[in-house]
Amino acid sequence: MSGYNVGDLVAEFLAAVGVRTVFGVVSVHNIPMLDGIGRRNAIRYVMTRGELGAGHMADAYARATGQLGVMFSSTGPGVSNSIAGLVEARFAGSPMLLLTGQTATKFADRNMGTVHDIPDQLGILRSAGKDAFRVRSAGEALGVLMRAAALALTPPMGPVSVEVPIDIQRTAIERPAALDNLVLPVPPAMVPAASELDELVERVRAAKRPMLWLGNGARGAGAAALGLLEKGFGMVTSWAGRGVVPEDHPMTLGGLNGNGMPIIQDFYAGCDLMIVAGSRLRGHETGDFTVKLPGNLVQIDVDPAANGRTYPVRQFVCGDAALTLEALLGRLGGMAVDPGFGAEFRAMKAAAQEAFRASLGPYADFPRQLRAVMPRDALWVRDITIANSTWGNRLFPVYGPRDSIYPVGAGIGLGLHLGIGAAMAAGDRKTVMMSGDGGFFLNVTELWTAVQENADMVMIVMNDRGYGVIKHIQDALYGGRRFYGDLLSPELEGLAGLAGIPFFRVSHAEHFGATVAQAIAHRGPSLVEVDMTAIGAFPPYYPYDRAVG
């Protein structure tokens, strides 16, 4: 089709708002939009093997860059396959835009059995994400796209979907001049009320043993957090907030936030203030809110509905985490922190790390070995697997606020997808992804996306030939009756050979770091198998063994 149409508008809009990479599957109902992208060649289009992978890749891209992550899906069944990606992006607060088609306008919502037509596609998308919109005329296309993208980027961020019916995609229009100087109507970061800030300053000045708990919403607060650490604060993060301050700083626990560890909770009990910024204090990380935090709890969040949602708070400050902590630091002046607090914190940190390391059995030295061979700025991506739920989330040090990507919603099988999306965002940085065999084989078809795109990533597969954590649960709670936990899977070496990528195997724990180093030295995708049957079983972890430390 000659001329300029709404599909061209979609392609130009994405480029105008700074999108450089998108993910998706071509379909009968999105060809005009993808034709617009292909003819312009201004955006890298990553051809995924399914919408499930595309969604998670766009999510990871958004997390790694802080920019809009974009995916294209087919309609109907394709949209259905996208839902898990939207749900995870919503858990993670990722600014993501899903663009899909819809049957022709005259057939939509009439249950007439047209190709890919499903009941209430828009309602499905709306329930899975932050919101969803349909373009109902060619004239409103640009306005709907701007509204959707701005909403995705407005804190609390999240995924937003747009349906563009196929007949509207093909509709010829005049090119909007507004595309030449397009600015999304994203509201400025929320400044806290002066009265709330006054009260916060007074609380901090009165504190002798203060702590910070920073989450995903505080990713931009690193400089302010460092300033507060210099004034005597201790710090801990949610798993989604890791790396806001480099975790080799002596006054941060990183993601070792206390669940199942009495030594840390005992230290919290001696703190007279904890400021929680940009974190939901999720049940997943707090043992369903059983972790005992200081009673003098202050919460900073842009979402007023977060006030006291998980833990009771003494003060709630509605505002952007970075702006609020910067304002606090600027007005604070001196503090009278207990002179022994810093030394006590550092001693507790060392003891807690050693106690946790001792609970890992033959894998105790894995985080040290891996950190020693990984570039400092490498992206650290994980699936839900025992190694991640233990040392991957809590012990392995992360140094940058966008370096750590994992399934916040705790869904298995996302690791490979997240790793590819992160690698597409990484530029010259390396991506290291760790998965279990169960999660890896759940979505292994996307391995060929990594190969086709030459994604510069190391895939570490912790292979225990089954669902290890399920077996721990069955041992602890179901009398050791292990039903349905063993998996028959292809040999990983043969799979790597089929994909044409380098393969490495670790059969002795002490060789882990050196073997991964060989894979890191290769440019492009590579696969490392950790043979857990040779090294030894991974010990059960809290709460399926006992509290550690």
CATH number of 359-535: 3.40.50.970
Report the distance separating Cα 51 and Cα 81, nearest Å: 5
Identify the sign of the CA torsion 532, 537, 539, 540: positive
Task: Tell me the average pLDDT across 145-152.
Answer: 98
Report the distance separating Cα 203 and Cα 15, nearest Å: 46
For residue 2, is pLDDT > 90?
no
pTM, 2 dp: 0.96
Q: What percent of the chain has pLDDT over 90?
A: 91
Task: List phi, psi (to 5°) of 72.
Answer: -115, 135
Report the distance separating Cα 42 and Cα 64, nearest Å: 21
Contact call for residues 366 and 512 (beta carbons, < 8 A) = yes
pLDDT at 91: 96
Three-state SS string across 427-449, please?
Answer: CCCCEEEEEEHHHHHHCHHHHHH
Neighbours of 138 (CB within 10 A): 19
Which has more pLDDT, 547 or 185? 185
Whether 6-181 shares its CATH topology with 359-535 is answered yes
Q: Where are the domains of the chain?
A: 6-181, 194-353, 359-535
pLDDT digit string (tens) for 426-453? 999 999 999 999 999 999 999 999 999 9
For residue 130, is pLDDT > 90?
yes
pLDDT digit string (tens) for 325-344? 999 999 998 899 999 999 99
Contact call for residues 381 and 432 (beta carbons, < 8 A) = yes
User: Any idea which architecture 194-353 has in CATH?
Assistant: 3-Layer(aba) Sandwich (3.40)
Contact call for residues 540 and 472 (beta carbons, < 8 A) = yes
| Confidence band for 460, pLDDT divided at 50, 70 and 90 | very high
Neighbours of 179 (CB within 10 A): 14
Task: Tell me the average pLDDT across 175-188.
Answer: 96
Task: Tell me the average pLDDT across 496-503.
Answer: 98
pLDDT at 546: 62
Task: Tell me the average pLDDT across 301-307.
Answer: 96
| Confidence band for 324, pLDDT divided at 50, 70 and 90 | very high
pLDDT at 544: 76
Report the distance separating Cα 216 and Cα 238, nearest Å: 7
* Secondary structure (3-state) at 5: strand
For residue 76, is pLDDT > 70?
yes
Query: 278: left (phi > 0), else alpha (psi -120 to 50), else beta?
Result: left
Q: What top-level class would CATH report for the domain 6-181?
A: alpha beta
